Structure 1
């Protein structure tokens, strides 16, 4: 195993220190307990908090800032943060309008966020992200997993909160977005958790894992390597069967890298995606391509489709200024 690190036990601490120093104009790092918060809080705005195991950067700390999250709670690599992190973050970033927790559907994340929600003195609500159509249950979840769709929810609800919506409106909007969003991924290689020092799973040089989870959980099937058009077609067929978009629907397309795939390949995968959608008369309204929800150095990608409406398009286009996503400012 070769990684840039000094001591495995200090990996997260030193990574977060570097992140906070690099983006000191946007974020502040709290160390006891650990969370990243927006540097300038907006009085009277619903505060958005997300989090989860580290190793998925820029998710979630990289999306703290104007137009997205007010705080993110990072756990150790692929390990849920703890309720005390979430409660402390909520108390710090609440400016009078309450807190919305945005939670990916993984058992540890959900359990700890629910505990924090129940124990917190800050008024709060929760949006649960379960956009992965690959499998209904896995070793990490009961029900569908939450994956790259979290980025879309955080951006759209972050914009709504910025515009002055209340907690109930933000939760309802987040739930609606989640229902209109579906994702599926594919892995070419495994990844190595620093503390484990060994590959999370083994896969042959001529194999791919179709429907992989962002922690390396198994997907729908182990298959032989195939051209990009065929891979995109399998992922999109499953996604479209789940969403059943109307013929006149506009879609937000997110082609997301899992950490070890070059940007040029992701654009090629988007081209395959674009061709598949156009052949079926489906309209692309917005596009985002890049490594936004990663799995350490795993090679592979996921495709996410979100069925847009005018309100969602407006909030997607609105200004955002975070370490990991920025436009319009």
Structure 2
């Protein structure tokens, strides 16, 4: 059986109240009692159950974090940032991956509502507005991550994806590319539409004529990038684009793998590739990958701070935090 506070009191020869004071208010206890209780704790191996103590007080020590793609290193970095911030507040992160499945997303949101977490961070895939309102009614603060809350009903922390798409295509145009393909999806995601909108704005506003096409993917994975590359290679050479803007780094790495394998296309001599996120794998690719950087860990830290503030003050006004993207140029676009 676990050692209890009563066991410690009996071993030290003091009351349960004295043990509680040593643990929580040692300044109110004599030095002799502190020494006796501390020795009993060491002898018995007692570990205080802070989680249970705070739960009895009605204060959860956990925050839920639900992401739409647990295999994407961008989201891993965002979660890591939230965990780093959470640790300084004595908070633990409970993590769920929906794998772009609305039914799994609903299960996690219902679970965290039932568990009465202190707050929830959510990188959503489906339409979750009704569930978010139910969470709020249950007293659970919610912050959207990697998704701008256009109506301002909930706080959000994101990067300006439209500006990121514009940066990517402007860079490709500056390097002399004129036949550009945006490779990404699914377009149920707001991020995909925003990045494509930025790409189109850059192409339309260019001083030269630029053709911009869309090569759709069903998910944001390396495998989808490989498949998209195969479809491009199957075209007559005269119909190949001379640049690819991938909606994230995983798709870009799949494209790179497909196009470079066997020397079928030279990157960037025949075709340039730029990704989005600037994950750890971008710089380590066989041809180091240009990318649009998101401050992933800062996104996680900021979201965690906001959700704790809103949990402490339910009447706080939702805020939209939008970080600027950054162009990172490597060999995949400049040689």
Give the structure-1-normalised TM-score. Answer: 0.34
> Which has more helix, going by share of residues?
2
Give the structure-2-normalised TM-score. Answer: 0.33
* Max Rg structure: 2
> Which has more strand, going by share of residues?
1
